[in-house]
Amino acid sequence: MYKVAIVGSGPAGHTAAVYAARANLQPVMVEGLVRGGVAGGQLMITTDVENYPGFPDGIKGPELMDLFKRQSQRFGTEIISSDVEKVDLSSRPFKLWTSEEQELTAESLIIATGASARWLGLPNEEALQNRGVSACATCDGYFFRDQHVAVVGGGDTAMEEANYLAGLCSRVTVIHRRDALRASKIMAQRALDNPKIDFVWDSVVTDVKDVSAGKVTAVEVENRKTGKRQDLAVEGLFIAIGHQPNTDIFKGQLELDGNGYIVTQPGSTRTSIEGVFAAGDVQDHVYRQAVTAAGTGCMAAIEAERWLAGM
Ligand code: NDP
């Protein structure tokens, strides 16, 4: 039986592992093989990371995750390359089953399974990811300084991204599939009032160009009312149509919010079950940054250690 099991291997999971291992808790990490068989979370599909402190020249996402993993292993974290398929949190020790049908038991659990950005599902959107197509303005907006970019979506995330990008880019065009925004009044009004932001209503993106040039040069936009299609020349495309927290295996066992994120107690990583802690994007729909995920991973390990000491 393990003292601490960690599920997930992004910045939150690995930071929790480093702290737990250095506290002599001999953690086990099930690193997860979601995203086409690659562990390491969202940074594995990110090229340049320029906002992770300590890397003044930037670093590639997969390289950063390799460093995280080496640091976890250096202090003795046992890493299992598998997905967790099922958990039983109804009694302690907690039980986890991996996709290789291995059963693990642990006194405490740190959930760091992250969230996945929703994409439109267009073939060229995937081909141009990291070449102008992004799901994170805070991460990638800087690459589009003084350029024209498009944002897809009508929720709070889309408005926040549009406002953020308007501070960097020459022009931001929001493309929304209806004629009314879903975003909260205040966020919507801020975007509507921003002279650098314009809106294309009742419209969907049907294609991203230009794969042969290896970068985004335009998006094809279809008006859903008239059926008319036209190209809009842009250098960047930000998809902001929501995120999906990876919490399916915890449904019905842990308290989740209306959007499926794990509910943690304010200022802590404690969940609705004693001994279960959640860190990173799986419990954070606001900041969603590698560095904030790492910060909450550290918190989760410290909280698990203190909880185990008081058992
Ligand atoms: P939402 O689900 O609120 O909004 C998603 C938007 O994307 C909607 O406008 C939706 O259109 C559109 N959309 C969904 N799928 C598609 C698609 N396939 N093609 C085109 N458009 C699509 O997600 P958010 O990420 O914006 O917000 C999630 C939660 O986080 C919300 O509760 C939000 O309030 C909160 N949040 C709060 C913030 C803050 O307060 N600072 C910042 C960011 C998020 P439609 O409207 O037609 O359904």
Catalytic residue status for 136: yes
**Mean pLDDT, the chain, as a whole number?**
95
Say how far apart CA 213 and CA 269 lie, in whole Å.
Answer: 45
Sheet-wide strand order for 203-209: 203-209, 218-223, 229-233
Among the options 140, 156, 207, 284, which is catalytic? 140
Claim: this prediction has a pTM higher than 0.85? no
Domain ranges of the chain: 2-116+243-309, 123-239
Tell me, using a 6 A CB cutoff, whether residue 285 lines ligand 1: yes
Among the options 136, 156, 207, 284, which is catalytic? 136
Testing ligand 1's pocket by substitution, the residue of 138, 177, 256 carrying the most ligand atoms inside 8 A of its CB is 177
Task: Give the DSSP H or E segment for 245.
Answer: strand 243-245
Q: Please report where in the chains the tokens 């099922």 appear, as a residue.
A: 86
Positive/negative CA dihedral, 216, 218, 223, 228: negative
In CATH terms, are 2-116+243-309 and 123-239 the same topology? yes
CATH superfamily to which 123-239 belongs: FAD/NAD(P)-binding domain (3.50.50.60)
Q: How confident is the model at residue 49 (pLDDT cuts 50, 70, 90)?
A: confident
Plot region of 9 (φ>0 → left; ψ -120 to 50 → alpha; else → beta): alpha
- Is the per-residue pLDDT at 37 higher than 80? no
Q: How confident is the model at residue 116 (pLDDT cuts 50, 70, 90)?
A: confident
Interval 28-56 mean pLDDT: 82
Q: How confident is the model at residue 41 (pLDDT cuts 50, 70, 90)?
A: confident
Alpha carbon 257 to its chain centroid, in Å, reads 17
* Model confidence pLDDT, tens digit, residues 148-167: 999 999 999 899 999 999 99
Residue-level pLDDT at 46: 73
- Ligand 1 atom showing the smallest separation from residue 160 Cα: 42
Residue-level pLDDT at 292: 97
Interval 209-229 mean pLDDT: 97
Distance 182 CA to ligand 1 centre (A): 7
Catalytic residue status for 298: no
Percent of the chain with pLDDT over 90: 86
Interval 194-216 mean pLDDT: 97
Tell me, using a 6 A CB cutoff, whether residue 131 lines ligand 1: no
* Model confidence pLDDT, tens digit, residues 165-200: 999 999 999 999 999 999 999 999 999 999 999 999
Catalytic residue status for 140: yes
Testing ligand 1's pocket by substitution, the residue of 157, 186, 224 carrying the most ligand atoms inside 8 A of its CB is 157
Residue-level pLDDT at 311: 82
> What CATH fold (topology level) applies to the domain 2-116+243-309?
FAD/NAD(P)-binding domain (3.50.50)
* Model confidence pLDDT, tens digit, residues 229-288: 999 999 999 999 988 999 999 999 999 999 999 999 999 999 999 999 999 999 999 898
Say how far apart CA 176 and CA 30 lie, in whole Å.
Answer: 39
- Is the per-residue pLDDT at 38 higher than 80? no
- Give the residue whose CA is nearest to atom 18 of ligand 1: 120
Tell me, using a 6 A CB cutoff, whether residue 306 lines ligand 1: no
Q: Any bridge partners for residue 237, and if so which? A: 133, 150
Residue-level pLDDT at 34: 59
